[in-house]
């Protein structure tokens, strides 16, 4: 019983780190939670008598779980005859001893693991992704990484280097695109709040639509003129968007499609289940006013 209590305490102590590792590995909060829970199921049955570095041991267990998930994900894609639809992202119940993560830590994670980076990571092999994430993000040695993937330290180093080149090559373009989109969304919110119809028109493509409703730039501009007073600029799953929250609960998410510097479509989602599954990071209010 004492050993189980010790293990539970160590797992809870490192839970946020383990969640971060899984989130970086998998790019999905719900899958990361599943991975951490699976890791707990494994370590709770393990003999901990020889464990000298609990943090490193737990990180290794989580990494192996994530590697299995990545390999299964890759296998599903290879077996499919066409493109797979996105997997549903629904909230998962957490089990003991995984506690509540710090909201600030979750915000930092969501900000850093944007959609663009996840797309790049998804092009890597599971071993490349594991080597890159564990070494470049969490400073795990190549010796430890090699033991997880059954490769030599030199081979693990080569995998990380290959992944790093691909990630760095895509980082510049994707970062610039997100920054430009953020400015457009911020300008749209400022114009909507201020009732500036002509400024909204300038930001909208002539054929812009509100998904499921208005069509054409003038109709969209008319719909939003003087509205969105309570909407705030945010990153939603790593992409610039607008979110309206009430009493600490996200009630509506407004997402934008931007092409050639203009907004081509706007979608408003108010479904509570879908909103709970989104990673939302509110950005400083002064970003909207600029």
pLDDT reading at 93 higher than 60: no
pLDDT band at 255 (very low <50, low <70, confident <90, very high): very high
Clarify whether residues 168 and 281 are in a common domain: no
Joined tokens for residue 238? 């790593």
Whether the bond between 138 and the residue before it is cis, its omega within 30 degrees of 0, is: no
For residue 48, being part of any structural domain is answered with yes
Q: Are residues 200 and 264 in the same domain?
A: yes
The answer to whether 94 and 54 have CB atoms below 8 angstroms apart is no
- pLDDT value of position 287: 41
pLDDT in tens, 172-214: 555 566 678 889 999 999 999 999 999 999 999 999 999 877 6
Same domain, 24 and 141: yes
User: Is the model's pLDDT at 284 over the cut of 80?
Assistant: no
Closest among 144, 147, 125 to 71, alpha carbons compared: 125
Name the band, by pLDDT with cuts 50, 70 and 90, for residue 96: very low
User: Is 94 inside a domain boundary?
Assistant: no
Q: For residue 177, what pLDDT is reported?
A: 62
Residue at 91 is within a domain:
no
pLDDT tops 70 at residue 111:
no
Residue 123 has pLDDT above 50, yes or no: yes
Domain assignment of residue 96, yes or no: no
The answer to whether residues 110 and 235 touch, using CB atoms and an 8 Å cutoff, is yes
List Cβ neighbours of 53 (8 Å cut-off, separation of 6 or more). none
pTM: 0.50
Does residue 151 sit in helix, strand or coil?
A: coil
| pLDDT for 73 | 86
- Mean pLDDT (the chain) is 79
- Domain total of the chain: 2
Q: Token digits for 43?
A: 């370590």
CATH (domain of 59): 1.20.140.160
Q: What is the CATH number of the domain that holds 216?
A: 3.10.450.50
Q: Which domain holds residue 34?
A: 2-81+102-173
Burial class of residue 221, CB neighbours in 10 A (0-12, 13-18, 19+):
buried
In this model, does residue 90 exceed pLDDT 80? no
Q: What is the mean pLDDT of residues 246-271?
A: 91
235 to each of 105, 249, 271, how far by Cα in Å? 15, 16, 18
pLDDT band at 46 (very low <50, low <70, confident <90, very high): confident
Task: For the chain, give the percent of residues with pLDDT over 70.
Answer: 78
């Amino acid at each position: 019983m004492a050993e189980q209590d010790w293990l539970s305490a160590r797992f809870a102590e490192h839970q946020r780190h383990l969640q971060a590792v899984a989130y970086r590995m998998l790019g999905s909060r719900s899958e990361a939670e599943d991975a951490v829970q699976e890791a707990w199921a494994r370590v709770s049955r393990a003999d901990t008598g020889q464990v000298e570095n609990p943090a490193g041991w737990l990180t290794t267990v989580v990494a192996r779980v994530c590697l299995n998930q990545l390999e299964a994900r890759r296998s599903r894609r290879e077996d499919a005859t066409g493109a797979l639809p996105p997997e549903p992202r629904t909230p998962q119940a957490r089990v003991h001893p995984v506690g509540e993560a710090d909201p600030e830590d979750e915000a930092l994670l969501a900000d850093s693991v944007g959609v663009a980076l996840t797309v790049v990571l998804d092009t890597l092999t599971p071993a490349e992704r594991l080597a890159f994430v564990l070494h470049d993000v969490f400073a795990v040695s190549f010796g430890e990484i090699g033991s997880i993937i059954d490769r030599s330290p030199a081979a693990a180093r080569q995998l990380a280097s290959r992944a790093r080149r691909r990630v760095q090559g895509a980082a510049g373009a994707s970062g610039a695109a997100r920054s430009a989109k953020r400015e457009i969304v911020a300008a749209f919110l400022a114009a909507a709040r201020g009732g500036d119809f002509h400024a909204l028109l300038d930001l909208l493509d002539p054929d812009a639509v509100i998904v499921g409703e208005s069509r054409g730039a003038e109709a969209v501009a008319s719909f939003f003129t003087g509205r969105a007073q309570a909407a705030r600029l945010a990153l939603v799953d790593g992409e610039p968007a607008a979110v309206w929250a009430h009493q600490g609960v996200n009630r509506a998410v407004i997402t934008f499609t931007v092409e050639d510097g203009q907004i081509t479509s706007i979608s408003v989602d108010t479904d509570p289940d879908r909103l709970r599954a989104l990673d939302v990071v509110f950005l400083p209010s002064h970003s909207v006013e600029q």
